[in-house]
């Protein structure tokens, strides 16, 4: 597709269950980012991938959160033993190169996955 695709668009899960969120970046984009947007809050940086490696995992809020990227393309964000405070919109973005590598490499965002933990 032409843009960043995220699935599912909505996910309702029970507290304690594991969830997987998927992101398909724009073809050819080497950099991929995960952000979390909570109600009334700004966007919170979670993790950044350059190719398949994640040089910056500093934003992951706890060890229940993990992410991987395979083939330099699709990425999955996994949340284990979900808690109610995990409820948020999880946004994925990609860019042609990392922001520090190119002057003209804006981020392109998907529409997000709205996660509700009951």
Partner 1 sequence: KQEVTQIPAALSVPEGENLVLNCSFTDSAIYNLQWFRQDPGKGLTSLLLIQSSQREQTSGRLNASLDKSSGRSTLYIAASQPGDSATYLCAVNLGGGADGLTFGKGTHLIIQP
In the complex, the residues that contact partner 1 under the rule CB under 8 A are 4, 31, 33, 35, 40-43, 45, 48, 50, 55-56, 58-59, 91, 93, 98-100, 103-104, 106-112
- Least distance to partner 1, CB of residue 16, Å: 27
CB closer to partner 1, 29 vs 98:
98
To partner 1, the closest distance from the beta carbon of 111 in angstroms equals: 5
Q: CB-wise, 15 or 106, nearer to partner 1?
A: 106
Question: Is residue 86 a contact partner of residue 109, using CB atoms and an 8 Å limit?
Answer: no
Q: Which of 95, 118, 91 is nearest to 105 (CA)?
A: 95
What span, in angstroms and rounded, lies between the C-alpha atoms of 51 and 71? 8
- Nearer to partner 1 among residue 58 and residue 70 (C-beta): 58
Structure tokens at 65: 């959160």
**CB contact at 8 A, 56 and 48:** yes
């Amino acid at each position: 597709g032409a843009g960043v695709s995220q699935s599912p668009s909505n996910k309702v899960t029970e507290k304690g269950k594991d969830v997987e969120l998927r992101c398909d970046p724009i073809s050819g984009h080497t950099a991929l980012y995960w952000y979390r947007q909570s109600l009334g809050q700004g966007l919170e940086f979670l993790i950044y991938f350059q190719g398949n490696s994640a040089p910056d995992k500093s934003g992951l809020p706890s060890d229940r959160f993990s992410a991987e990227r395979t083939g330099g393309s699709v990425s999955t964000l996994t949340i284990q033993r979900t808690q109610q405070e995990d409820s948020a919109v999880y946004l994925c973005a990609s860019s042609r190169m990392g922001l520090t590598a190119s002057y003209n490499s804006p981020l392109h965002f998907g529409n997000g996955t709205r996660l509700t933990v009951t």
